[in-house]
Amino acid sequence: MSYPDNMLENIKKIESTRARIVEEAKKGDNFPRLSLEDGEKLLRKYHPDYKDGTKRELKVGKSKGELVPNEFADVIEAYPGIEPGEIDLEQVDYDVDVLVIGAGGAGSAAALTAQEAGAKVLVATKLRHGDANTMMAEGGIQAADKEEDSPTRHFLDALGGGHFSNDHDLLAAMVHDAPAVIEWLEDLGVMFDKDPDGTMRTLHGGGTSRKRMHSAGDMTGAEIMRTLRDEVRNREDIKVVEYEPAVSLIKDETGGCAGAVLQNMETGKFSVVRAKTVIIATGGFGRLHIQGFPTTNHYGATADGLVLGYRAGCSFSFMDASQFHPTGVIFPEQNVGLLITEKVRGAGSQLVNADGEQFVYPLEPRDIESSAIIRECFERKKGIETQTGRIGVWLDSPMIDVLEGEGTVQKEFPAKYRQFMRHGIDISKQPMLIFPTLHYQNGGLKISDDTSTEVPNLYVAGEVSGGIHGRNRLMGNSLLDVTVFGRRAGTAAARKAKEVKVGTLTLRHLTAYAKELESVGIKTERISPMILPDYVGKVG
């Protein structure tokens, strides 16, 4: 299988403009970047976040009155799947200093740091250790570690990408810790792309003013994730339980967080964890398919930690802002929604329409880039249609080989090359058809720069938290976020655990939440956390 004839026909047009566009780009004669003002206008008109009828105000909880996507409101305004009475909290199955819920990048980094600070750690996760969006991150991780760069430049770039809405303190913490995190990963044995003298090979990402994107091929997240996982497995004081998601937090009579109820997905059995401090590191909500979009996210991205934290008394920030990655696969159909890393554009490929012409600067911040693609397809009608009726534009990857020499695409993007070759498409010679895909939850539970929350003894790190990226995250700041704040959470939670005395365990907050739902007239069969999405019987 390869592209069908009509698409092959159109590719000829793309080939005819390729050399000229590459030449222009080489001379620095790129399609111009939009001004802040024009970018803002484009967003308001075309970005899915601004589409009418896709959000509603929350009726319960600390963030009552805030607008969030309907699909997300559905899991927040839902009843807990457990009755407090059916769980015997006096029967403690695990008694630990720090409980980490979630075993992706943030959870693993937190577990390592907490253990190093002397804590006995339990990690509970719903799938396997490492089944997380961290594993899927392709293009890179930002850090201002070169002479011509600085943490403040990194701060400014990320702030512009987030339309100046980012929490300043959180963002400053992230850019400040970034180089140290890269050094930590280098020391753990992550195979970063380097020059022979050890200099990190860095590229631009959308919205960066300096080349600070560090990478490990196009499997940067996988390389980081498997290294962290391997290291966690080396540590005796960290126990990992898989296929046992947390279904509720536990508090004690002081109102502090004191553990969680886990449920074995295969046997249904509940376990009670008593912990002095708890870290939520469960990732985001991609599998809720906001507005029906396909997603790049892993199977378990169902917003569970947001439900747990909100019921326990946390509030949200920026939960109305979703990130649509500009370049999601729309052909072949089997791969719809999968990510094509921004590094493909960082390395020199451009987006072109059905006429083979550019229509947007290739490295705008993601929300702007996505909005321009949507406009090109649906207002200007310059997209290309697949047999299943999807419409997209071309990401012209062969430009990279024209620019850097034959073989570059295969060498720099081995995973993507392989993925397309499985369907008979050689991306070093043929472009990829793309359309924006649901990629990231910009917002999340509100945290301080040590990852603490409004609930005592509860910490939150990674995609499940909100504020660092404001309304729009830049590429390479998510792998950074999970490692920086994962480490901060581990340190803070272990330190706090030394002074906490856990009282009597209770699930009263669940009962209170259910009462609040009833009091505002929410009658529904919905229960949450969702744990896994349901694709049974579906084709898509």
Least CB distance to another protein at residue 33 (A): 8
Least CB distance to another protein at residue 127 (A): 6
DSSP β-ladder status, 257-263 and 79-80: unpaired
- Give buried/exposed letters for 102-125 (b at 16+ CB in 10 A, else e): bbbbbbbbbbbbbbebebbbbbbb
Q: Which is nearer to another protein, 2 or 388 (CB)?
A: 388
Least CB distance to another protein at residue 523 (A): 27
Q: Which is nearer to another protein, 1 or 65 (CB)?
A: 1
Cα–Cα dist 349/399, whole Å: 5
Cα–Cα dist 1/424, whole Å: 5
Cα–Cα dist 171/28, whole Å: 31
Q: Tell me whether residue 129 is one of the annotated catalytic residues.
A: no
Inter-residue contact 315 to 446 (CB < 8 Å): yes
Cα–Cα dist 285/224, whole Å: 22
Q: Annotated catalytic residue: which of 212, 325, 471, 509?
A: 325
Q: Which is nearer to another protein, 170 or 514 (CB)?
A: 170
Inter-residue contact 94 to 274 (CB < 8 Å): yes
- What's the start-to-end Cα distance of the chain, in Å? 19
Helix orientation angle between 220-234 and 168-188, rounded to the nearest 10 degrees: 70
Q: Which is nearer to another protein, 62 or 239 (CB)?
A: 239
Least CB distance to another protein at residue 152 (A): 5
Q: Which is nearer to another protein, 131 or 481 (CB)?
A: 131
Q: Which is nearer to another protein, 305 or 436 (CB)?
A: 436
Q: Which is nearer to another protein, 21 or 458 (CB)?
A: 21
Rg (CA), the chain: 23
Inter-residue contact 47 to 442 (CB < 8 Å): no
DSSP secondary structure string for all residues of 472-526: -PPTTSHHHHHHHHHHHHHHHHHHHHTT-----EE-HHHHHHHHHHHHTT-----
Least CB distance to another protein at residue 271 (A): 17
Q: Which is nearer to another protein, 144 or 249 (CB)?
A: 144
Helix (H) or strand (E) holding 270: strand 270-280
Q: Annotated catalytic residue: which of 311, 345, 473, 509?
A: 345
Least CB distance to another protein at residue 400 (A): 12
Q: Which is nearer to another protein, 162 or 309 (CB)?
A: 162
Q: Which two tokens stand for residue 482?
A: 């999970």
Q: Tell me whether residue 47 is one of the annotated catalytic residues.
A: no
3-class SS of residue 248? strand
DSSP secondary structure string for all residues of 406-451: TTHHHHH-HHHHHHHHTTT--TTTS-EEEEEEEEEE--EEE--TTS
Least CB distance to another protein at residue 265 (A): 5
**Cis before 436 (ω within 30):** no
Cα–Cα dist 258/278, whole Å: 7
- Give buried/exposed letters for 418-457 (b at 16+ CB in 10 A, else e): ebbeeeebebbebbbbbbbbbbbbbbbbbbbbebbbebbb
Least CB distance to another protein at residue 196 (A): 7
**Cα distances (angstroms) measured from residue 387 to each of 103, 211, 238, 296, 333:** 39, 39, 50, 22, 9
Least CB distance to another protein at residue 505 (A): 28
- Residues with a catalytic annotation lie at 325, 345
